Chains A and B, each alone.
Chain A
Amino acid sequence: MKMPEPDRDIIARRLEIAAALRAIVPGEGVIVEENELRPYESDGLTAYRQLPMIVVLPETTQQVSEVLRYCHENGVKVVPRGAGTSLSGGALPLEDGILLGMAKFNRILDVDFDNRCAVVQPGVTNLAISTAVSDDDFYYAPDPSSQIACTIGGNIAENSGGVHCLKYGLTTNNVLGLELVLIDGEVIRIGGPHLDAEGYDLLGVLTGSEGLLGVVTEVTVRLLRKPETARAVLVGFPTSEDAGACVAGVIGAGIIPGGMEMMDRPAIHAAEDFVHAGYPLDVEALLIVELDGPETEVDYLIGRVEEIAKANKAVTVRVSQDEDERTRFWAGRKAAFPAVGRISPDYYCMDGTIPRGKLPIVLTRMNELSRKYGLRVANVFHAGDGNLHPLILYDANEPGELEKAEDFGSDILRLCVEVGGVLTGEHGVGVEKRDLMPAMFSEDDLKQQQRVKCAFDPDNLLNPGKVFPTLHRCAELGRMHIHGGQLPFPDIPRF
């Protein structure tokens, strides 16, 4: 993966830059020692590593503002980082850039149950928000599987999802407001406890912008009341087509489950061997369908899901009888990644989304690719919303296998786009899928996206080298090529 050519002049000024940053963030908030930089060299995509030039750990919005203003004035690149759990290399450092760690922004500032929102700092973990309001029977809905570690600031950057997003939405649907520092140090506020900020939906475009547009210093999130109860149904099918048909049947019947997850045979076996969740081992596909809400509603819908499952050739149907059993059903799914990690020295997790009806063809083609590359693949799948997580099994110690796994992964993602889907459902583009962007977007599509960046960061200092395969200067992107003018176009109807 080629990153932007490092600026040798900046690297040569490293100690001078560190001294200037120390004047802004005193004490241990500026790190230059190699052994202390080491923990920051990678994020959740560990195949890529790069020591940052300097790590800065600010504690106040004022410090963030001054650091960014300094970097802007001195042409220093900035990579923001939350907990470093990105699976797409979103927080991969730059040799000539500072890494701006937001971990010290770890306070919950306000909880307002009457307005059903909370104001938190970006370094608060996703789970900590739900934990803080749990005693009052509220929670924050998006629940990425890294929720114990990932921060809400990182969730904003990646527009993180989770297993409940078909019913409750992604991060973008659950955030009400932001405080943001722009690259020139300006602090702006968007939204708040009220709905629908005035003017352009800047909040919407910032969510999922992968740290390329600004640095978030405060977040207002929507809180939801916990459902009265939740129960899960475990359904096994002889083929993945049958499982897919069942998912379509459930949604076609007007039921939007709280969660609906699918696993294929290799994933079922790996998970069962690991956590003994009680999964049937004689099926090709397993569905976990969770219904939540008032008990009356859950009972009623469980009954309907059972009927639909049986009508779609389900061979096992088990309804959780108590909270323990429901947790056990989920334990296997939640441990699917580490479970696969046990049966292979390494695995590579993909994240495409497809129109759900294309699942059988995608699985068939994926098996063909698996044979072609000689690498096994296990599939877990957010079945309700079409988000696939193929796990490619490989051994990094075997020369060439990592490259083979990456090529296999790229082929899977191209296949997702080919059937009408997208490259990434919730993990982000980062560095990982950057060079695949042209499979989905035209040159003009990508240039228009980059022009949005120009409105926020005209010198391209924030997280450069991520998301976009080609870096264009804003002056070049701004140029207009005027052709035509030879109207009247005779074929456009007019009055």
Chain B
Amino acid sequence: MAEHFKPETPDQVKDAMAWAIAEEIPLEVIGGGSKRSLGRPSNAETVLELSALKGITLYEAEELVLSAGPGTLLSEIEATLAESRQQLAFEPPDYGPLLGGPAQAGTLGGMIACNLSGPRRIQAGAARDHFLGFGAVSGRGEAFKSGGRVVKNVTGYDLSKLLCGSWGTLGAMTDLTVKVLPVAEKTWTVLVLGLDLETAGQAMTAALKSPYEVSGAASLPEKLAAMSKTSYVAEAAGGVTAIRIEGPGPSVEYRVAALRKQLSAFGETEELHSHNSREFWRELRDVLPFAAADDRRCVWKISVAPTAGPTLAGRLTESLGGDAFLDWGGGLVWLAVDAPRDGAADTVRGAVDAVGGHATLIRAPEPVRAAVPVFHPSAAGVAALSKRVKENFDPRGLLNPGRMYAEF
């Protein structure tokens, strides 16, 4: 039977890696394993589980910094931050329910390794923008670190960026440091009702070009809006376009009023206050419109220029059937299609390549994820460079081989 290691110290991670190198045994590196069905299926049978490297080791609210082991539950970190009215500003999503698993099972290490960010991505940046430093063990069996615990640091290459979004293929992280930020006093949302995709795109663009500091801009068609637990959204009887405004109380009130006035040119407006806003944006963040228990369709996450999103979403749902909604001001298209054989990958990628961007197959049966590239194939030069980077961290190809690309 294949081994399953669960080291409790960074030294034990190093030992396990040294053994894997000597025996030439590839490792499937996981945190808590909540995203195992996301990405290309691993080629490794032996598991290196980092969930025992857990716990917050440093949290200084006034310095805006937190360090923790990779296995620390995100829910624990968020609860700790909430006590000081702080948060991870990139709004890490919980894809548990979307992937058919439990909610709140994700770890800090997993979230950083996958570089996942929610609706606030457009304003606050991605996970990678908040990842300050780490310690890790490379596929060479060497412990190495990069970055630090201060937000402003240009000392040496920024390897944090490389590790973030590398899906465990460059190193097994043993500690991580992230930047944290205050929670806004107030979170309100302006809803514009009854817009078609194209008009919704124009309304979101207008809001994002305004001086009102929008922290989320999304649009749901009527069918998906009807699934919302927020009654204003569910009962809108039409598409719902949502613009989130956060900040100090008086500022939010002013900006929401100003924005409603500006956006009334597009359609009828409504507003959600803090409680409803939080619920609604959590639904979007976690892609709950596609997370119903009986929804087994393939789900794509497509990143394009914001103005390209509405047309792309319209074209793809027209040709493939299925449903789509927009986040990131139109720049993020969530698409669910009933295509169990290949996820309609050629059609989706062809349409994305025509406008520039990338499409990730977030949910699909395992055989599809093994046969179809889960991550958007890079141009030849970039792919070759990425392969050389991988070889310089993990020359024997022992860390999560095949997890990102079949070739490495």
Where the two chains meet, the residues of A that have a C-beta atom closer than 8 Å to any C-beta of B are: 112-116, 137, 158-159, 161, 165-166, 169-170, 172-173, 182, 186-190, 192-205, 207-209, 225-228, 248-249, 251-252, 254-256, 293-294, 296-297, 300-301, 353-357, 382, 385-387, 420-429, 433, 437, 440-442, 444-449, 451-456, 467, 477-478, 480, 482-489, 491-495
Q: Given contacts A441-B145, A441-B156, could you give 15 more A-B pairs where the C-beta distance is less than 8 Å?
A: A113-B209, A116-B209, A166-B151, A192-B356, A193-B356, A194-B303, A198-B358, A254-B182, A293-B213, A294-B258, A297-B248, A300-B248, A454-B392, A487-B19, A487-B23
The answer, yes or no, to whether B386 is at the interface (CB within 8 Å) is: yes
Chain B residues whose C-beta falls within 8 Å of the C-beta of A195 in the assembled complex: 121-122, 126, 303, 328, 331-332
Binds A, one of B161-169, B188-196, B339-347: B161-169
Known contacts A194-B305, A356-B63; decide if A385 and B151 are in contact (CB<8 Å): yes
Measured CB to CB, the closest approach of chain B to A77, in angstroms, equals 19
Among B115, B117, B389, max chain A CB count under 10 A is at B389
Where the two chains meet, the residues of B that have a C-beta atom closer than 8 Å to any C-beta of A are: 3-8, 12, 15-16, 18-19, 21-23, 52, 60-65, 84-86, 115, 117, 121-122, 125-126, 128-129, 138, 140-146, 148-162, 164-166, 170, 181-185, 205, 208-213, 247-251, 253-255, 258, 303-308, 328, 331-332, 356-358, 360, 375-379, 381-383, 385-386, 388-393, 395-396, 404-405
**What is the chain A residue whose CB lies nearest that of B21?**
A482
Chain B residues whose C-beta falls within 8 Å of the C-beta of A201 in the assembled complex: 115, 128, 161-162, 164-166
Measured CB to CB, the closest approach of chain A to B271, in angstroms, equals 17
Cα(A113)–Cα(B255), bound, Å:
21
Measured CB to CB, the closest approach of chain B to A7, in angstroms, equals 25
Cα(A172)–Cα(B16), bound, Å:
34
Cα(A116)–Cα(B210), bound, Å:
11
Cα(A456)–Cα(B382), bound, Å:
11
Q: Which 3 A-B pairs have the closest CB atoms?
A: A204-B161, A485-B22, A297-B251
Q: Let me know if B148 and A421 touch, CB within 8 A.
A: yes
Known contacts A356-B63, A448-B144, A489-B16; decide if A296 and B388 are in contact (CB<8 Å): no
**What is the chain B residue whose CB lies nearest that of A165?**
B152
Chain B residues whose C-beta falls within 8 Å of the C-beta of A385 in the assembled complex: 150-152
Measured CB to CB, the closest approach of chain B to A303, in angstroms, equals 10
Chain B residues whose C-beta falls within 8 Å of the C-beta of A294 in the assembled complex: 211-213, 251, 254-255, 258
Q: Let me know if A429 and B331 touch, CB within 8 A.
A: no
**What is the chain B residue whose CB lies nearest that of A158?**
B154
Chain A residues whose C-beta falls within 8 Å of the C-beta of B356 in the assembled complex: 192-194
Chain B residues whose C-beta falls within 8 Å of the C-beta of A170 in the assembled complex: 152, 154
Q: Let me know if A428 and B148 touch, CB within 8 A.
A: no
Q: Let me know if B375 and A199 touch, CB within 8 A.
A: yes
Tell me the dominant secondary structure on chain B's binding face.
mixed
Cα(A382)–Cα(B385), bound, Å:
37
Known contacts A137-B211, A387-B152; decide if A194 and B164 are in contact (CB<8 Å): no
Cα(A444)–Cα(B6), bound, Å:
24
Q: Please, could you name 19 A-B residue pairs with CB atoms under 8 Å apart, sorted by A? A: A188-B385, A194-B304, A195-B331, A199-B165, A199-B386, A293-B213, A297-B247, A386-B150, A426-B154, A441-B145, A448-B144, A451-B392, A452-B157, A452-B162, A455-B392, A487-B19, A492-B7, A492-B16, A493-B6
**What is the chain B residue whose CB lies nearest that of A299?**
B250
Q: Let me know if A202 and B250 touch, CB within 8 A.
A: no
**What is the chain A residue whose CB lies nearest that of B405?**
A199
Measured CB to CB, the closest approach of chain B to A146, in angstroms, equals 15
Cα(A420)–Cα(B148), bound, Å:
8
**What is the chain B residue whose CB lies nearest that of A452?**
B157
Cα(A289)–Cα(B219), bound, Å:
37
Measured CB to CB, the closest approach of chain B to A416, in angstroms, equals 9
